[in-house]
Amino acid sequence: MKVIRTVSEMQALSRSWARQGTVIGLVPTMGFLHEGHLSLVDTARERCGAVVVSIFVNPMQFGPKEDFNAYPRNEKQDLELLEARGTDVVFIPQLDEMYPKGFETRVELTRLPNHLCGLRREGHFRGVTTVVLKLFAAVLPNIAVFGEKDYQQLLVIQRMVRDLNLPIEVVAAPTVREPDGLAMSSRNSYLSPEERTMASCVFQALQRARQMANGGVVDTIMLRRAMTEIIEQAGAQVDYVAVVDPDTLEELLLVKERAHAAVAAFVGRTRLIDNIRLKG
């Protein structure tokens, strides 16, 4: 496994792979890897001759009051995990090459970010799309794998790829969970033991919404009320609970054939997000 820290070296390697007809897969991450990330690597491995995992904690997607500085980092452990999982290259770009002095370009969607996390995290998705396009330009992948755990992010990237005619296939990978249902996340490391126990309420709330929808409840006010109750009874705080159209993310009044439930909640000071497909 090779570690590459400059864009020019990454591009040169990708071009040589492309000349040999090798399919290149990219898994973008912010590091502090867990089994969720590694399942994305497995998905890329199945489909690609060369697998690149990027690690970059992207300052542009963090708000001024968010956890950029505190965000967990452990490069040595990440490299060990990726090597064991059959990664070809770990691309670790440097801050001053990603955002050199005078950097002024932004990539921004106009509709999809106006929902869910986008309303709570001003500028977050602008940071995500800008950095992901830069990672695509550095790695030149044929395939890029993203997790359904960050469902709005997945849709935003799919939209960007379509809108800009990027020759990249975006592959969605299912959410990997702890035994109690908590979606794996680097941010789970912030949780105290008591908070960790409490955190399972997020998935319990989503599951309850799914049970109710499967049982024939169509009024999304009832679903949202039930989710809020489960989260608050556990001692966590709701940031949002929503039932949305899975393509546009617009809130639904009534559950349709296709609907998604999404939650963001603060467990102590840690903000956790999760989502689930309702019905079926």
Residues in touch with ligand AMP (CB under 6 A): 29-30, 36-37, 39-40, 146-147, 149-150, 173, 175-176, 183-186
Residue closer to ligand AMP by CB (options 130, 185) is 185
Q: Which of 34, 37, 124, 260 is catalytic?
A: 37
**CB of residue 146 vs ligand AMP: minimum separation in angstroms?**
4
Asked if 37 is an active-site residue, the reply is yes
Residue closer to ligand AMP by CB (options 150, 195) is 150
User: How is the beta sheet containing 89-91 ordered, strand by strand?
Assistant: 2-4, 89-91, 50-55, 24-29, 143-147, 169-173
**CB of residue 113 vs ligand AMP: minimum separation in angstroms?**
16
Residue closer to ligand AMP by CB (options 14, 188) is 188
**CB of residue 186 vs ligand AMP: minimum separation in angstroms?**
5
**CB of residue 47 vs ligand AMP: minimum separation in angstroms?**
15
Residue closer to ligand AMP by CB (options 85, 149) is 149
Residue closer to ligand AMP by CB (options 36, 141) is 36
**CB of residue 27 vs ligand AMP: minimum separation in angstroms?**
7
Structure tokens at 58: 């992207």
Whether the Cβ atoms of residue 173 and residue 35 lie closer than 8 Å to each other = no
Catalytic residue IDs? 37
